[in-house]
Amino acid sequence: MRNATRLVLVPAVALACIGGFAGPAAASKAGSQVEITKATADLEHVQVRGKVTSDRDACKEGRKVSVWHDVPPAGPSDNDFKFGSTRTDANGHWDLASVALPDKVYAVVKANKRCKGDTSPTEVVQVK
């Protein structure tokens, strides 16, 4: 009886340990940061550029970035509206031009299966 218990108990404990160590590590999401590097406008359109950074390459390339007009109250709120979206290149850089003329903007990259999401600080659009 004692040997039968060991035959069942030892493999069960081993599987629990392996699952406990590999499970969360394999499922963890990499951090991502989105930032606006330039926001300029003239009388006809706005140009917003930025980048997504991450320690994981897959979290930089091909990410969808949405750019929002920040209207009062300051910061992301239900009053804000998205005026465009684009995808990042292999280096995490992105660029968006629009006929919208916002005075303040922020960018959002949503989380996916492998990467965390992020929202950039609000930037004032510089008029040329």
Q: How many CA atoms lie within 13 A of 24 on its CB side?
A: 4
**Same domain for 60 and 89:** yes
Query: What is the number of alpha carbons within 13 Å of residue 111 lying toward its C-beta?
Result: 8
CATH of the domain at 115: 2.60.40.10
**Which pLDDT value is given to residue 62?**
97
- Which residues constitute the domain of residue 101? 33-127
Are 42 and 104 in the same domain?
yes
pLDDT tens-digit series, residues 24-36: 545 699 999 999 9
Read off the pTM. 0.78
Q: Does residue 43 share a domain with residue 24?
A: no
> Which residues on neighbouring strands pair with residue 87, listed in sequence order?
64
Query: Are residue 90 and residue 47 in the same domain, yes or no?
Result: yes
Query: Residues of the chain whose pLDDT is less than 70?
Result: 1-27
Domain co-membership, 62 together with 14:
no
Co-location of 24 and 49 in the same domain = no
d(CA 70, CA 106): 7
Among 51, 57, 56, 58, residue whose Cα is nearest residue 33: 51
Are residues 102 and 54 part of one domain? yes
